[in-house]
């Protein structure tokens, strides 16, 4: 919630009335996938190598799982979809998930976790889009 941006009298006077930022309520990482999805297999393997634990939901096993994915994927059943504390990421990279967790839910990462450096493609794109 509110942050003091300046030192004007109003901000100082209202500081005591400000509510603290709400705690992050993410309790788990939910990964929605389906059998035969190469992108899902790749992401699952990358998260395994990073030691990032999650709860996996097969969207073909339970209609409610597919409904969650449609909610975040503009009505589509695009997988993998990852949900953390009400924030959905459709077809994210493991690196994007790690960065999101570092900022919004670091308690869901392994102790001492560091975001891995970009791979060859990421480095090449970084040079192009400086």
State how many domains the chain has: 1
Task: Tabulate helix, strand, coil % of the chain (nearest 5).
Answer: 40, 15, 45
CATH classification at residue 70:
3.40.30.10
Residue 66 confidence class, pLDDT cut points 50, 70, 90: very high
Could you give the percent of the chain with pLDDT greater than 70? Answer: 81
CA distance 100 to 8: 33
pLDDT at 24: 58
pLDDT at residue 107 greater than cutoff 80: yes
Q: How confident is the model at residue 18 (pLDDT cuts 50, 70, 90)?
A: very low
In a domain, residue 8? The reply is no
Report the range of poorest mean pLDDT among 25-39, 60-74, 112-126: 112-126
User: What average pLDDT does range 116-121 have in this prediction?
Assistant: 76
27-49 confidence digits (pLDDT tens): 999 999 999 999 999 999 999 99
User: What was the pLDDT predicted at 46?
Assistant: 95
In a domain, 13, yes or no: no
C-alpha span between 57 and 37 (Å, rounded): 13
Asked if residue 18 belongs to a domain, the reply is no
Residue 43 lies in a domain: yes
Q: What are 57's two structure tokens? A: 């939901």
Residue 24 covered by a domain: no
Domain range for 110 is 29-115
């Amino acid at each position: 919630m509110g942050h003091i941006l300046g030192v004007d009298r109003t901000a100082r006077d209202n500081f005591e009335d400000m509510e603290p930022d709400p705690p992050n309520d993410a309790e788990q990482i939910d990964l929605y996938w389906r059998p035969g999805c190469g992108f899902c297999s790749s992401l699952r393997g990358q998260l395994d190598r990073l030691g990032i634990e999650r709860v996996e939901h097969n969207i073909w096993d339970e209609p409610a799982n597919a409904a969650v994915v449609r909610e975040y994927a503009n009505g589509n059943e695009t997988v993998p979809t990852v949900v953390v504390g009400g924030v959905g990421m459709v077809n994210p990279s493991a690196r994007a998930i790690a960065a999101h967790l570092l900022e919004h839910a670091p308690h869901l990462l392994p102790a001492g976790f560091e975001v891995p450096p970009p791979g060859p493609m990421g480095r090449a794109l970084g040079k192009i889009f400086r």
